[in-house]
Copies of this chain bind each other. A is one copy, B any other.
Amino acid sequence: MTACPAPTADLLDRLAHLLGPSGILTAPSDTDPYCTDWRALYHGRTAAVLRPADTAELAQAVTLCAQAGVAMVPQGGNTSMVGGATPDDSGREVVICLSRMNRVRRIDPLDHTMEVEAGVTLKAAQDAAREAGLMLPLSISSEGSAQIGGVLATNAGGNNTVRYGNARELVLGLEVVLPDGSVFHGLRRLRKDNTGYALRQLFVGSEGTLGFITAAILQLQPQPRATEAALCAVADAKGALALFAAFRAQDPALIQAFEYMSGAGMDLVTRLVPGASLPLAEPAPAYVLVELATPRANADLRGALEDVLGAALEDGTVTDAVIAESEGQRMALWKLREEHAEAQRRAGASVKNDVSVPVSHVPELIDRATAACAALIPGIRPAPFGHIGDGNIHFNLVQPEGMDPAAFLALDHRIMDTVGAIVRDLDGSFSAEHGVGRLKPYMMPDWRGGAELATMRRIKDAIDPRGLLNPGAIFPPDTGNPARVTPDA
């Protein structure tokens, strides 16, 4: 994809001299893992993976590459769901991985902030906050591998967004190496600072196309002193939404997570995943996993949960419910939610749609998309689940039983387009959490075209005029048919 020149031997020599032996990988056996994305949709090549030790080294390496006009692909934990950090197969793009910059620089308890480098895994950052008696309120399934730089570059979401917002809302300050090697020193830990454009907000979610996020100041929260979780049987998504509204009317600040699961998805989990069983008397058309939490001692959190559940059982919104009586039971409830992806994998080929709509439209999304997909492929098994309180549903579809997986996957774009048309009709988004990456740029002109995409391009051209950073991500090629890649199961 990149029109940039390959790095010359001289450039590679200079980079090796700058970064030292542990700072550059050139053998294909070493670089290969950096050239394939987590979903194995993209298989690229690179002449070098650069692994700078600190911001100064990175800035010098970027300056050298920029002077040579060489394209650079930033990479963190390489957990993108949309091929956001994979070089193309020309071998001309260098990968720059910040995993060696992995220090938690400081935690300020009075400010409720932490300063972390890009290469710290989200899990390590959570742990450091916890050891300081605080909480970093961001949690995603890949948190053991995903690194802060990528988490911020993609504005990660996850289970606690309903309470604390996306990654974007946690960022007070950023340090960024720009495409020319200059450094934006924005590591301020100010809650209020109205001095010009909010550059940090532009870099968050820009998927490595505008700069390398090297460090960040993140806002922390107190640790919860009490947590309660319940699994609730409901008639449908409308019932799930009514339950959400009831909990939110009580106190949105208590809702740590509010997850929807379809009856079909739950059936796959309990049948196919060892150790997963439904703790209710009988299966239901749909389920909610609600978790309440509060840092306040003696807040009668159990009472708060029972108040809403009791009223919902009485008025029929909830038909059955179980409250976790121990940490072990709470983890067992979460297992039912977290094993949805694994259960779908065991059930055969599946197609994923990470979509969002206004919260009020979720029931209509699920009803219409379920019917449309069934009409398209008889026997298809829709298993939607996810963050209903954010309007974010992972509308995944499992192949009909007995169908050839390859035949099913050959229809992937017809399925995605079917779901997409309904999402669009409901004023939704084709990518709620995962971003655009290399998988979805072809959708940008249709969904975000006109003045919106034109303005994004202007910004890209202003900050990275030669298009050196993460070519192929977010923006569709200017000419010709935008590329569509067929995802694996």
Residues of A within 8 A of B (CB): 108, 110-113, 154-155, 157, 161-162, 165-166, 168-169, 178, 182-186, 188-199, 201-202, 204-206, 210, 221-222, 241, 245, 248-254, 294-297, 299, 304, 356-360, 387, 390-392, 427-436, 440, 443-444, 447-448, 450-456, 458-459, 461-463, 474
Contact = CB atoms under 8 A, between A and B. Distances in A.
A489 to B, nearest CB: 23
B191 A161 contact: yes
A358 B189 contact: yes
Nearest to A435: B194
A360 B296 contact: no
Chain B CB count within 10 A is highest, among A253, A390, A428, for: A253
B108 A360 contact: yes
27 contacts: A108-B360, A113-B358, A165-B169, A168-B198, A178-B451, A184-B455, A185-B450, A185-B452, A188-B429, A189-B358, A190-B428, A190-B429, A191-B392, A192-B387, A193-B432, A194-B433, A194-B434, A195-B430, A195-B444, A195-B448, A196-B452, A197-B455, A222-B249, A253-B294, A458-B462, A459-B459, A459-B462
Contact of A251 (B157, B294, B458): B294
| A-B CB proximity, top 8 nearest | A201-B201, A253-B253, A462-B462, A110-B360, A251-B296, A192-B432, A193-B429, A458-B462
A463 B452 contact: no
Contacts of A184: 450-452, 455
A392 B192 contact: yes
Given A252-B221, A462-B458, A155 B194 contact: yes
Contacts of A210: 197
A254 B297 CA distance: 13
A249 B154 CA distance: 31
B166 A192 contact: yes
Contacts of A221: 252
A423 to B, nearest CB: 10
A192 B250 contact: no
A434 B189 CA distance: 18
A196 B429 contact: no
A61 B241 CA distance: 43
Chain B CB count within 10 A is highest, among A110, A249, A296, A455, for: A455
A248 B254 CA distance: 15
A166 to B, nearest CB: 7
Given A110-B359, A248-B112, A459-B459, A197 B192 contact: no
Contact of A110 (B155, B197, B245): B245
A183 B451 contact: yes
A456 B111 CA distance: 28
A457 to B, nearest CB: 9
Nearest to A297: B250
B197 A202 contact: yes
Contact of A455 (B178, B360, B443, B451): B178
A432 B295 contact: no
Contacts of A250: 295-297
Given A296-B251, A358-B190, A390-B191, A456 B197 contact: yes
Given A193-B432, A195-B429, A197-B202, A186 B251 contact: no
Given A222-B249, A455-B463, A459-B462, A448 B192 contact: no
A364 B197 CA distance: 28
